[in-house]
């Protein structure tokens, strides 16, 4: 993690033992989807021995053409482990569901109700199986690319479930040109969006789910804590959508954190900058834990 060392966010690994997290991968059944969904759960070091302690939870959503193991196989787990070992992060659970190509929404044709599965089945199943803090302020959501879109969408639509949200290189698209090109960047977008948003693409349904549209009404998620960034050389041009989201939220007076960073798209970008979303969520989780502890102490009197 050369970038983290250079940024002063890590000390050399030789200076402390780097504990390993436990990665628990399983299939979670879904009555809504009619099939099981593969999910990996990264448990912080010391989880097994710390009972009955409960932990905040971060849901991390993968990008297109990836799956529930991408975070652990491509460097995300390493960043999280090293920042935790260095004391930069408080301990929290990371949940990594397979989202396929769903964009983490209910499909237009109703065949793949992934959003309903996520909110109604996945979150309760995680809270039941693991020692989580089942409180919105102690539950965050993050993601990259398609997963960044999903994280923003789910958090804005369900602020009663998530208290904090972040996104890297979110797949944020403004209005489509007309007619929609069949080749090039816009042609690619139209093809990959057909599975969740209709074939041919139903633009009204896409717009209704688009975080750029949802951001027009921040009063619906007024307590949500929000961070997002994007590379200034994103190969899909997502920096345009990220800057537009920043402008919409700023115009509405909604407090948020946004940074346009040097870099492109993908895991090379994440290796440099995922640290910032993890630090953001850790700070929010610490505040939530303090508030819950104070509430518990007050109720015990």
pLDDT digits (tens, 9 = 90+) for 35-63: 999 999 999 999 999 999 999 999 999 99
Question: ∠79-98-289 over CA atoms, to 5°?
Answer: 55
CATH number of the domain to which 143 belongs: 3.40.50.1820
Kindly give the interhelix angle for 76-85 and 267-300, rounded to the nearest 10 degrees.
50
In a domain, 148, yes or no: yes
pLDDT tens by residue, 181-238 = 778 787 888 888 999 999 888 989 999 999 999 999 999 999 999 999 999 999 999 9
In a domain, 10, yes or no: no
Q: Which long-range contacts (CB under 8 A, 24 or more apart) does 289-294 make?
A: 289/56, 289/90, 289/133, 289/138, 291/137, 292/133, 292/135, 292/137, 292/138
Q: How much is the pLDDT for 177?
A: 75
Alpha-carbon dihedral sign for residues 129, 130, 131, 137:
negative
What predicted TM-score, i.e. pTM, was given to this entire model?
A: 0.92
Q: How much is the pLDDT for 1?
A: 42
Contact present, 115 and 154 (Cβ < 8 Å) = yes
In a domain, 105, yes or no: yes
Number of domains in the chain: 1
In a domain, 2, yes or no: no
In a domain, 257, yes or no: yes
Q: State what percent of residues in the chain have pLDDT above 90.
A: 83
Q: Return the SS3 of 248.
A: helix
Q: State what percent of residues in the chain have pLDDT above 70.
A: 92
pLDDT at 240 over 90: yes
Specify the higher pLDDT residue, 182 or 33: 33
Q: How much is the pLDDT for 300?
A: 63
In a domain, 9, yes or no: no
Contact present, 154 and 298 (Cβ < 8 Å) = no
In a domain, 120, yes or no: yes
Domain range for 168 is 19-300
In a domain, 80, yes or no: yes
């Amino acid at each position: 993690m050369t970038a983290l060392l250079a940024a002063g966010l890590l000390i050399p690994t030789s200076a402390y033992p780097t504990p390993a997290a436990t990665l628990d991968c399983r299939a979670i059944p879904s009555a809504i989807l009619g099939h099981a969904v593969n999910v990996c759960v990264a448990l912080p070091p010391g989880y097994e021995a710390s009972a009955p302690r409960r932990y905040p939870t971060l849901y991390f959503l993968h990008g297109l053409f990836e799956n529930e193991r991408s975070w652990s196989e491509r460097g995300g787990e390493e960043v999280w482990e090293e920042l935790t070992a260095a004391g930069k992060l408080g301990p929290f659970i990371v949940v990594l569901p397979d989202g396929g190509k769903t964009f983490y929404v209910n499909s237009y044709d109703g065949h793949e109700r992934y959003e309903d599965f996520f909110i109604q089945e996945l979150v309760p199943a995680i809270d039941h199986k693991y020692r989580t803090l089942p409180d919105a302020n102690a539950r965050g959501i993050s993601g990259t690319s398609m997963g960044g879109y999903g994280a923003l969408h789910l958090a804005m639509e369900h602020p009663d479930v998530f208290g904090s949200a972040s996104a890297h290189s979110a797949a944020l698209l403004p209005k489509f040109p007309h007619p929609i090109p069949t080749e090039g960047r816009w042609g690619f977008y139209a093809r990959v969006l057909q599975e969740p948003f209709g074939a041919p693409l139903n633009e009204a349904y896409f717009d209704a789910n688009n975080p750029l549209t949802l951001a027009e009404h921040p009063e619906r998620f007024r307590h949500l804590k929000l961070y997002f960034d994007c590379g200034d050389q994103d190969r899909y041009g997502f920096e345009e959508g990220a800057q537009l989201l920043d402008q919409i939220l700023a115009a509405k007076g909604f407090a948020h954190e946004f940074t346009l960073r040097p870099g492109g798209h993908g895991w090379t970008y994440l290796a440099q900058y995922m640290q910032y979303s993890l630090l953001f969520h850790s700070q929010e989780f610490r505040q939530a834990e303090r508030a819950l502890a104070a509430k518990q102490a007050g109720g015990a009197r």
